[in-house]
Amino acid sequence: MKNEERLSLPVNIYRYKFSQDFMLELYNFSKIHQYDDRESFKEAWKQWALDNEEIIDQEIITLKAHDYEGNVLDKMFKSARYYFRKKGTEKKEPTKRREYINMSDELLKSMDNHIIQKIMDPNYKPQTGFTNFCEENMDVLKLSVQTICAKGITDPVIIQDKMKKTYKNRYFMLVHTNRNSNV
């Protein structure tokens, strides 16, 4: 489908953000008054709001243009008081991701077949389905565990969690694909 032919769907906004310039002003105010008690912070806020009436009005216009229906001044105050005031300036070190563990195609096909067979049972749940899958497919599981161990991952908890997560993801993908194809 070409770009011109695509339907434009309405996009609901659930998180309204301030403009970068306004956020910087709000952040600076919050850091100056970071250690003020509640009453002092409120007084400083009132004065800051009077001094910065022009940029506040512009931000209100922008948010209202994006269909924000709440109290914009209240949103600004709460952002300054409860978010920016406590926000640190140091960059956090990104956490190191675990090495990705591939599952064999044979295991994935076995999981898919098991889910398809059991999904019509009204008492079926992915959690109990995984336990049932393990009981019924020991040979495939043993081969998969051997393959994973050969890659250097020998912690049984990590292996079990990965297989359980894979099973539940396969369940979700099959159910989600089925729902979308019936629409």
Question: Domain map of the chain by residue range?
Answer: 20-84, 105-177
Residue 138 CA to chain centroid, in angstroms? 34
Residue with more model confidence, 161 or 120:
161
128-170 pLDDT, tens per residue? 899 999 999 999 999 999 998 988 888 999 999 999 999 999 9
Question: Is residue 28 pLDDT above 70, yes or no?
Answer: yes
